[in-house]
Amino acid sequence: MGQQEYQVWGDLSFPSDGAGRVHSIISSDSDNPWMTLGIMENIEDERLLAEWDNVLAVQTELLADREFEWMARRGLGTNSAGILEIGSANGNYGTALARNFPENFVYGLEANSNLSERMNFEKCPPNYSIAVCKVGDEPLPEGVSGNFDSCILRFVTQHVSDPLRLLQAVYEELPKGGSLYIVEEDDALFQSYPALSAFETAFDIWRRVISAGGSNSQIGRKLPFLAREAGFDIASYEITLRNSVESGENFNRLFAGTTKMFQMTNPDIVTSEEVNHVLEGLADPASTNSVVAVYPQVLLHAVKR
């Protein structure tokens, strides 16, 4: 890692045209506007929770190996210090993380107890725990504070109304030299080529529901600006277009799963006809096998100097 690379990252600042503005549209009048969870906040319905379980599992299966390999390459797990995982949901990703970094204890924290209660304790490795905590709003639980030197935020910054404040809170909790690893999405970069209507409809549903729920799934491109603004140095920023050819069946499962889930979340926005169109299209190998569809995997490693 050369000196030069850091100098390039050092030049980043918010674009003056406002493109880097980070405050979201959600509920500036609520008690804690910067901690609103967008579409994740009100998930209580049993069928919807089960559909989220499915999507979280597919996302781990499809994407996690490369993320863990990248984190290890960026230094995670090289000492035996603890890892803080904020936004653990049902613990699906955190347990996989803990299995991949067996020398480290992984402290999962989740704001929504409806999700954390779905944790599968039978499959929980001994180096993982999950507790309910809305980080940034509530103090870290005893035994967590001061016991980690790395923090993982995976698909979390998109669900808070002021991600900059969340990153500032993480910055304050990390020791000097500590690392922040962010995994995010950016649905502006979804694409199918040649355009396949089933994929394009799935992408469109995703964009409509996420923005209606107040979450920001175009946050991937803003991460370097946010992290720098919060005080971090950027050590690495990668966007990989994961695709339907490399990922096979799992790629279609992800978009079929999110389509079903988003209709349950927002039946007023997503019609049954659209859902059927997506599910039938994605189940038809004759059409999907002649298309390359892409999903951007956004990875940012930042360091507290």
Ligand X SMILES: C[S@@+](CC[C@H](N)C(=O)[O-])C[C@H]1O[C@@H](n2cnc3c(N)ncnc32)[C@H](O)[C@@H]1O
- Nearest alpha carbon to residue 83 among 203, 184, 173, 199: 173
Per CB under 6 A, contacts with ligand X among 53-72 are: 56, 59
C-beta neighbour count of 142 within 10 angstroms: 9
Distance CA 132, CA 275 (A): 34
E strand intervals along 229-291 = 233-243
**Residue 253 exposure: Cα atoms within 13 Å on the Cβ side:** 16
Q: Does 89 bind ligand X (CB under 6 A)?
A: yes
92 vs 244 by CB, closer to ligand X: 92
112 binds ligand X (CB under 6 A): yes
Task: CB nearer to ligand X: give 94 or 281.
Answer: 94
Q: Would you say 35 or 198 has its CB closer to ligand X?
A: 35
Binder of ligand X out of 111, 140, 256, 270 (CB under 6 A): 111
Structure tokens at 282: 């994605």
Segment contacting ligand X (CB under 6 A): 105-113, 191-199, 233-241, 253-261? 105-113
CB of 89 to ligand X, least distance (A): 4
Residue 299 pairs with which residues in a beta bridge? 183, 238
Count the site residues for ligand X by CB under 6 A: 25
Least distance (Å) between residue 290 CB and ligand X: 31
Cβ proximity to ligand X, 107 vs 281, nearer residue: 107
Letter for the amino acid at 78? T
Beta-bridge mates of residue 135: 138
Per CB under 6 A, the segment of 20-28, 82-90, 226-234, 267-275 that binds ligand X is 82-90
Long-range pairs of 115-121 with CB within 8 A, sequence gap ≥ 24:
115/40, 115/43, 115/49, 115/52, 115/88, 115/89, 115/90, 116/88, 116/89, 116/90, 116/91, 118/49, 118/53, 118/90, 118/91, 119/88, 119/90, 119/91, 120/90, 120/91, 120/95
Please, which residue, 170 or 196, has the CB nearer to ligand X?
170
Binding mask 188-217 for ligand X (x = CB under 6 A): ------------------------------
Site for ligand X in 130-149 (CB under 6 A): 134-136
The two three-digit tokens of residue 240, written as one number:
């990989």
Per CB under 6 A, does 156 bind ligand X? yes
- Answer yes or no: are the C-beta atoms of 94 and 121 closer than 8 Å: no
Structure tokens at 279: 């599910």
196 vs 230 by CB, closer to ligand X: 230
107 binds ligand X (CB under 6 A): no
CA–CA gap between residue 107 and residue 101 (Å, rounded): 12
Q: Is 160 in the site for ligand X (CB under 6 A)?
A: yes
Give the residue with the Cβ less far from ligand X, 54 or 287: 54
Interface with ligand X includes 92 (CB under 6 A)?
A: yes
Member of 22, 26, 35, 299 binding ligand X (CB under 6 A):
35
Q: Note the residues at the interface with ligand X (CB under 6 A).
A: 35, 37, 40, 56, 59, 86-89, 92-93, 109-112, 115, 134-136, 154-156, 159-160, 166
